Homo-oligomer: A and B are copies of this chain.
Amino acid sequence: MGFKETKTVDQVLSEAIKYIKHVPRIIEVTISEALNKYIAEDVMARFDVPGFNRSAVDGYAVRSIDTFGASPTNPITLRVVGFMAVGDDPGKYSLNPGEAIEISTGAPLPVNADAVVMYEDTRRSGDYIEVLRPVPPMGNVSRRGEDVRANEVMYRRGMKILPWDLGVLASMGIYRIKVFSPRVAIISTGNELVEVTDVSSNGPPPGKVINSSRFVIEGLLKSLGCEPNYLGIVGDNEDEIAKTVSNALKDYDAVITTGGVSVGKVDYTIRAVSRLNPEYLNHGLSIRPGRPNSIAVVNGKPVFMLSGFPVAAATGFDVLVRPILLHMMGAIDDPKPVIKGVLTRRVSTPVNTKSFVRVRAYLGRDGRVYVEPLALTGSGILSTLVRGNGILVVPENREGFDEGDEVEVTLIRPLFMEGS
């Protein structure tokens, strides 16, 4: 009984990835719908941004040559012949020698002007200004193409679209863009499961459990720019599971099941997926929680078989599903917020197992950060992800950390304050 030999996450990932050939769905969306999606094409600029030389300050557009030699004791006088506002056509004025045009920040330089003198460096009287300081060519000018140059590749396939990217894309004249939008099927297995919508206010019937993993996985998939498709609960029945997974593989880019991945009597899902002639199948990982998490590759598509216990499933998602789906989109993972703190209690973990310990990190009254381990076991104890705010990872080659050790914690919520 028990998993005789489990592989490390890195081993399984590098093996499984070799068999994944499927390119997930690509859709075209407007930039308003593209936030947090991964770009599915290289994006090249068609024109310069800005499209014209514009003033970077409020002042006077001039021919720089007219200002050479100017100083407070020897000012050069120019005649002001107009005002250039933001939004004006650059052809509104053409500058002759000895002339200046008053100009706002962001307004285009008039024809023949090649610099802007700031108000601060001038003295005005009537239609004339005295220039007190010379300005070099292109002085105080935001040059055409300074932000984006025509034909420059601004985005590579696989980049995640963040808020300012929407602005950059718009600046480039791009309103519709191709993004990855993998369709992922979620299949919950287990005779014990009932839907939250079917449960009375007294809770589920005796022996039954509300299907919560489904929602955790939906949330994790959405955070990854994927489209979750929940296919419902299947009982602990090998035939049913095999049929449901097999059908899902026709319609979706990836399949995630929960439950039926223990050993012995309850590995229904493992046996069901084995029947689908997978190119690759690995049962179990040397992690805790989440030892039963498994993966198969069928026709080039991944089938993730996660634990029926929600915390174990969430851990399986992070170590297995997330990197593989990112790989399928040619993307790399976001940086994670990490904090260092002093462990308040010893953490013991099994050897040769990468352990994910949920913790509560808080700022002590003494100004130091402390890390309190919340639960060493209990893969069903989802609430530790609410009461806690971080994950402490204990690598395979350690058996834990001692009280007082400085440890690094990935924060999933803000730091607590001591006593709160």
* Interface residue ranges, A against B (CB under 8 Å): 1-2, 31-32, 35-36, 46-52, 56, 58, 85-92, 104-108, 118-120, 142, 146-148, 154-155, 160, 162-171, 173-175, 190-193, 196-197, 199-220, 222-223, 236, 262-266, 308-311, 314, 332-339, 377-378, 380-383, 385-386, 411-415
| Chain B contacts for A52, CB-based, 8 A | 206-207
In whole angstroms, how far apart are the Cα atoms of A88 and B206 in the complex? Answer: 8
> Are the CB atoms of A203 and B46 closer together than 8 Å?
yes
| Chain B contacts for A50, CB-based, 8 A | 209, 380
> Are the CB atoms of B265 and A142 closer together than 8 Å?
no
Tell me which of B191, B377, B411 contacts A85 (CB under 8 A).
B191
| Chain B contacts for A1, CB-based, 8 A | 58, 118-120
> Are the CB atoms of B163 and A105 closer together than 8 Å?
no
> Are the CB atoms of B170 and A236 closer together than 8 Å?
no
Residue of B with least CB distance to A292:
B105
Task: Say whether, besides A163-B223, A206-B89, A168 and B383 are in contact (CB < 8 Å).
Answer: yes
Tell me which of B192, B223, B382, B383 contacts A86 (CB under 8 A).
B192
> Are the CB atoms of B190 and A86 closer together than 8 Å?
yes
> Are the CB atoms of B206 and A91 closer together than 8 Å?
yes
In whole angstroms, how far apart are the Cα atoms of A36 and B223 in the complex? Answer: 9
Residue of B with least CB distance to A154:
B386
Q: How far is the CB of A256 from chain B (nearest CB, A)?
A: 13
Task: Say whether, besides A120-B1, A382-B147, A386-B155, A206 and B58 are in contact (CB < 8 Å).
Answer: no
| Chain B contacts for A377, CB-based, 8 A | 56
| Chain B contacts for A174, CB-based, 8 A | 196
| Chain B contacts for A171, CB-based, 8 A | 210, 212, 310, 382
Task: Say whether, besides A120-B1, A215-B169, A215-B170, A202 and B147 are in contact (CB < 8 Å).
Answer: no
Q: How far is the CB of A225 from chain B (nearest CB, A)?
A: 13
Task: Say whether, besides A167-B216, A382-B167, A173 and B193 are in contact (CB < 8 Å).
Answer: no
| Chain B contacts for A209, CB-based, 8 A | 50-51, 87, 106
> Are the CB atoms of B164 and A51 closer together than 8 Å?
no
| Chain B contacts for A335, CB-based, 8 A | 337, 339, 411, 413-415
Tell me which of B210, B309, B311 contacts A173 (CB under 8 A).
B210
| Chain B contacts for A262, CB-based, 8 A | 58, 104-105
Q: A87-B192, A147-B378, A162-B413 are in contact. List 15 more A-B contacts (CB 8 A).
A: A1-B120, A51-B209, A58-B262, A86-B190, A87-B193, A92-B207, A104-B262, A147-B382, A147-B383, A155-B386, A163-B314, A166-B216, A167-B215, A335-B413, A337-B338
Q: How far is the CB of A105 from chain B (nearest CB, A)?
A: 6
A-B contact pairs, 26 of them (CB 8 A): A1-B118, A2-B120, A46-B202, A51-B209, A52-B207, A58-B266, A87-B236, A88-B191, A89-B207, A91-B206, A92-B207, A104-B266, A106-B309, A108-B206, A146-B378, A147-B383, A160-B413, A164-B216, A164-B382, A164-B385, A165-B219, A167-B314, A170-B196, A171-B382, A173-B204, A337-B337
Task: Say whether, besides A32-B218, A206-B89, A215-B170, A104 and B164 are in contact (CB < 8 Å).
Answer: no
Task: Say whether, besides A148-B383, A215-B169, A236-B86, A266 and B105 are in contact (CB < 8 Å).
Answer: yes
Q: How far is the CB of A371 from chain B (nearest CB, A)?
A: 14
| Chain B contacts for A89, CB-based, 8 A | 205-207
> Are the CB atoms of A147 and B381 closer together than 8 Å?
yes
> Are the CB atoms of B2 and A210 closer together than 8 Å?
no
A-B pairs, 3 with minimum CB distance: A163-B219, A87-B191, A87-B192
> Are the CB atoms of A86 and B191 closer together than 8 Å?
yes
